[in-house]
Amino acid sequence: MTFDINRRELVKALGAFGGAAAIGSLAAPSRAQGGSIRLGLIAPLSGSQEIVGRYQLAGATIAVNQINQAGGILGRQVELVTRDDKANPAAGVAASKDLAGSGVNLMFGILSSGVALAVAPTLADDKSVLVVSAAAANELTHEQYTRNVFRSADHAYARQRALAKLVLTDFPDTLNWTAINPQTAIGASNWDSFVDGIAQYSQEAGKPAEITEALWSKFGATDYKNEISQLMRSKSEGLYCGVYGGDAVTMFGQAAAYGLTKKFKVIVDPGSEFIIANAMGKNTPPGLWSGFHWYHGAYEGHKINDDLYNAYVKETNDPHPAGYVGETHTSVLAYASAIQKAGSTETDAVIAALEDLEFDSCKGMRKIRKEDHQAICDLNFVQFGPDEGSDKGWKVTGHRIIKDEGVSEAPTPGVPIVFKNKKA
């Protein structure tokens, strides 16, 4: 099964938003007060992360359509304005300035933590607000905290600690962990958070775990044979595969001949979602737990979840929406609630309304903390395995919701997280 949001969606998006936005930005900047409410989506709509950008665009489009069909916000229609950040910080800053210049002060989206960290400090000057829908870097709500940035999605610390909790519950005897990680800040920060969780929860269970030093590989590497050989000699039983997305597909593909997936008892992945299974089909590593922004199957019966899922499948014919779809959808809902509460779209009013906002989303209630602007929400995980019988070659073999009860850290805006058990 390929992911086919493809041309139909694209052309539609173009016609509906792209064209209008292009004309809009050429006209003199205006804050269409009485007219529609304009929300700016910043996403990688081209370049190496375009696949994620299309999910983000789909989720945002569906949310805006749903709101408009229900009569809009404060009786005004919502208009989606899109800008491409190419997952590149410079393009991201240009995109946010472009939006601000076109009179769009309420922005959301952003996949790459590098882009989010680049855009964040420039927002105050432009009097803009950004609700981050994906970028998970802890820094965004800690040392790089700014008043103009919120995150309606989960962050690295919560997600990876929840993952640690999951594996220690399901595999209490797998106590020696190692990892292969990309040399990026998010790679390091994911791993530190996971180790932090393993250390704390295994201690609490009375069986302290052991961490073997991680391997670090270049982001976007094409050959993992040297790393795989090293992993094959490792004495660990659990593998944290921090390499994600296309890199993970390359790594697992090359590792097949070595029998890497048989060597480790448990393999987990911080957040590749459907990418690995979709690409690898019947060669999907059996039992792989993957972190999800949002897994629709875990919330069947919850109306927002079901409506979003059905709208997505109807629009794209793709039965496997990635969590990014849910997260941009959520960001739009967050704005909708905040604008409703504030009765205004002015930056300061919306910031005040977003603080301490509680709202329902595709994965249930979320609360945005006032102190550090981080949302507290459920953490989702899905387990995959090969399925010889089916056409696509893989199936979901399990899923889990972990409630954020003590998973997240206490808010300390401006101050970095202190990891437990972090090796110097």
Of 49, 39, 38, 123, give the one whose Cα is nearest residue 85. 49
Q: Which residues pair with 131 in a beta bridge?
A: 108, 150
Single out the residue of 3, 292, 294, 335 in contact with another protein (rule: CB under 8 A).
Answer: 3
Give every CB contact of residue 81 below 8 A, 6+ residues apart in sequence. 17, 20, 21, 24, 38, 39, 40, 41, 99, 102, 104
Q: Which is nearer to another protein, 185 or 342 (CB)?
A: 185
Asked if 358 touches another protein (CB under 8 A), the answer is no
Contact track, another protein, 8-47, x by CB under 8 A: --x--xx--xxx-xx--x--xx---------------xx-
Of 189, 196, 191, give the one whose Cα is nearest residue 239. 191
Q: How far apart are CB 381 and another protein at their closest, in Å? A: 20
Q: Which is nearer to another protein, 232 or 365 (CB)?
A: 232
Asked if 203 touches another protein (CB under 8 A), the answer is no
Contact track, another protein, 67-96, x by CB under 8 A: ---------------xxx---xxx--xxx-
Q: Which CA distances in Å does 271 have to 183, 291, 349?
A: 16, 4, 34
Rounded to whole angstroms, how far apart are CA atoms 245 and 272?
5
Q: How far apart are CB 185 and another protein at their closest, in Å? A: 4
Joined tokens for residue 420: 């437990």
Q: How far apart are CB 301 and another protein at their closest, in Å? A: 29
Q: How far apart are CB 373 and another protein at their closest, in Å? A: 18
Q: How far apart are CB 312 and another protein at their closest, in Å? A: 15
CB atoms within 10 A of CB 405: 7
Single out the residue of 186, 214, 239, 332 in contact with another protein (rule: CB under 8 A).
Answer: 186
Contact track, another protein, 114-153, x by CB under 8 A: x--xx--xx---x-----------------x---------
Q: Which is nearer to another protein, 97 or 422 (CB)?
A: 97
Q: How many amino acids of this chain bind another protein (CB under 8 A)? A: 86
> What single DSSP character describes residue 84?
E
Amino acid at 377: C
Asked if 53 touches another protein (CB under 8 A), the answer is yes
Residue appearing with tokens 């946010």: 96
Secondary structure (H, E, C), 255-301: HHHHCHHHHCCEEEECCCCCHHHHHHHHHCCCCEEEEECCCHHHHCC
Joined tokens for residue 145: 């905290």
Single out the residue of 66, 217, 380, 408 in contact with another protein (rule: CB under 8 A).
Answer: 217
SS3 205: coil
Give every CB contact of residue 369 below 8 A, 6+ residues apart in sequence. 356, 375, 376, 411
Single out the residue of 275, 308, 379, 402 in contact with another protein (rule: CB under 8 A).
Answer: 275
Q: Which of residues 289-318 bind another protein (CB under 8 A)?
A: none
Q: Which is nearer to another protein, 262 or 405 (CB)?
A: 262
Asked if 412 touches another protein (CB under 8 A), the answer is no
Q: Crossing angle, helix 246-255 and helix 225-232, to 10 degrees?
A: 60
Span from 62-70, 113-121, 196-204, 326-334 in contact with another protein (CB under 8 A): 113-121
Q: How far apart are CB 226 and another protein at their closest, in Å? A: 6
Q: Which is nearer to another protein, 214 or 339 (CB)?
A: 214
Single out the residue of 58, 67, 99, 354 in contact with another protein (rule: CB under 8 A).
Answer: 99
Q: How far apart are CB 204 and another protein at their closest, in Å? A: 32
| End-to-end alpha carbon distance in the chain | 44
